Amino acid sequence: MAVAVVSAAVALLATACSGSSGASTSPSSSGSASAGSTSSGSASGSASAPASGSASAPASSSSSASASGSAVAANLPVTHPTVWLCRPGMANNPCEGGLDATVVAADGKTSVQKFQPAPEPKIDCFYVYPTLSEAQTVNAPLAAEPAAVAVARSQASRFASVCRLFVPVYRQLTIHSIFAGGFADPKAQALASGDVDSAWHDYLNRDNHGRGVVLIGHSQGAGQVTRLIRSEIDKNPAERSRLVSALAIGGNVLVPVGKDVGGAFTTVPACRREGQTGCVVAYSSFNQPVPANSLFGRVTNARNLNPGQTTAGMQVLCVNPAALSGGRAPLQPYEPTRTIGTHLTGTPQTSLADLKTGFVSFTGLQAECRTTGGASWLQVDATSKSAYAQSAVKQALGPTWGLHLLDISNAYGNLVNVVAKQAAAWH
């Protein structure tokens, strides 16, 4: 199957973004595991250890105090051993290595930018990947899949320059289940959500030790991040004190019209200045006004809601990662040049064969948040005729989807810079 077709399918499934968080099956503010999440077997079989064999057992460690003095409750519920796709200290960590970038200047000249992981990062990052599983079941298996590796590298691996990266495997709703209406199945949603919650608790119990943490998610992953904040972190001062920020990209986070807080979250506001912490960056990207039937940027398709909550008076939050306070600014894209299992790349295939690095970065993209006609979105424009810039604004799935596939890649450098400044400001 051609990369472009598979990539399009990956994005299509990723629409799970707003759906996965719709059911009220998440744990309560007390942190109890959601119903349906206690089974360690997925629809496709029993849970398995990661490729490295380093699945972590349920924690029994005592709580640790945060930098602000708050303490997360000891022994938060972990329903099964976490299968980590990537985590610090993992042997053969698939999120490490091959992260150098070829930088293409405006005049076409190239140079190699060496990737530098943070030697002693001050904070952690907890990443939940988008819809990608090709398993022919409702829920994905509890095992690392090649597509998950490819997407984690494409969307999260470069955050290792500013944080320790944790990527749990979860039994997400699969591509197959989306086409078969799986998002109407509350048990399937609870299974996916329960895995994310359990991994989050496992991380807090065993690895956090009072450190700040950034939650990162795209599409179905953004829905999971939004749900986790809304149902647990937002209500728990100790956990909220750990939150450096959340990057909930391509997931229709709602706020009251003209406001930066409310709607999806009670206390977590939009990030509007450099170095601001305890806040959220959220957007869906398009290169033209959002169509009326779009899956993103409009409240009509938002499902990140509390039970009984209305979308009246709400809008989809847009925060420009290149200019948090607003306005138009250049994007710093990092697009993957390699694929795993023929998954996920958005750059011109004819050019990639000559590149020896894992990523390519280039000039010629500008972005600003726009709100009109009941829609809010990140408008991305190509200001260069280069093949890279033009490819970065190609709507692979048509106007309804906009630039969903490249939501993170087109602003990867900006997002890492946002987190770097938040880490520097973190108490």
**Confidence bin at 395 (pLDDT 50/70/90):** confident
Does residue 30 carry a pLDDT above 90? Answer: no
Identity at 377, one-letter amino acid code:
W
What's the domain range around 258?
Answer: 3-27+82-425
Nearest alpha-carbon partner for 23 in 220, 179, 175: 220
Nearest alpha-carbon partner for 295 in 192, 217, 404: 404
39 within domain boundaries: no
159 within domain boundaries: yes
Does residue 85 carry a pLDDT above 60? Answer: yes
Task: Specify the range with the lowest mean pLDDT, choosing from 37-51, 81-95, 236-250.
Answer: 37-51
34 within domain boundaries: no
Does residue 158 carry a pLDDT above 60? Answer: yes
**Confidence bin at 398 (pLDDT 50/70/90):** confident
Give me the mean pLDDT over the 155-168 stretch: 98
pLDDT at 427: 84
The more confident residue out of 70 and 181 is: 181
Mean pLDDT, the chain, as a whole number?
Answer: 82
What is the share, in percent, of the chain residues with pLDDT greater than 70?
Answer: 77
In whole angstroms, give the CA distance from residue 43 to residue 266.
Answer: 35
Task: Specify the range with the lowest mean pLDDT, choosing from 32-36, 83-87, 231-235, 273-277.
Answer: 32-36
**Confidence bin at 338 (pLDDT 50/70/90):** confident
Write the pLDDT tens digit of every residue in 179-235.
Answer: 777 667 889 999 999 999 999 999 999 999 999 999 999 999 999 999 999 999 999
Does residue 341 carry a pLDDT above 80? Answer: no
pLDDT at 419: 98
Question: Which runs of E-coded beta strand occur in 339-390?
Answer: 359-362, 365-372, 375-382
**Confidence bin at 351 (pLDDT 50/70/90):** low
- Split into its structural domains, the chain has a count of 1
Nearest alpha-carbon partner for 65 in 200, 240, 207, 211: 211
Give me the mean pLDDT over the 313-329 stretch: 97
166 within domain boundaries: yes
Task: Specify the range with the lowest mean pLDDT, choosing from 21-35, 232-246, 324-338.
Answer: 21-35
Task: Specify the range with the lowest mean pLDDT, choosing from 84-98, 179-193, 381-395, 399-413.
Answer: 179-193
Give me the mean pLDDT over the 62-74 stretch: 50
Nearest alpha-carbon partner for 290 in 298, 281, 282: 298
CB within 8 Å of 234: residues ≥ 6 apart: 240, 265, 266, 267, 268
Report in angstroms the alpha-carbon separations of 273 from 135, 168, 270, 280, 319: 41, 30, 9, 11, 10
**Confidence bin at 51 (pLDDT 50/70/90):** very low
CB within 8 Å of 131: residues ≥ 6 apart: 10, 13, 14, 15, 16, 17, 20, 172, 173, 174, 175, 178, 219, 220
Q: How far is CA 139 from the centre of its chain?
A: 19
146 within domain boundaries: yes
In whole angstroms, give the CA distance from residue 297 to residue 347.
Answer: 24
pLDDT at 42: 33
Handedness of CA 283, 220, 337, 162 (dihedral sign): positive
Write the pLDDT tens digit of every residue in 369-385.
Answer: 999 999 999 999 999 99
Please list the residues that pair with 219 across neighbouring strands.
none
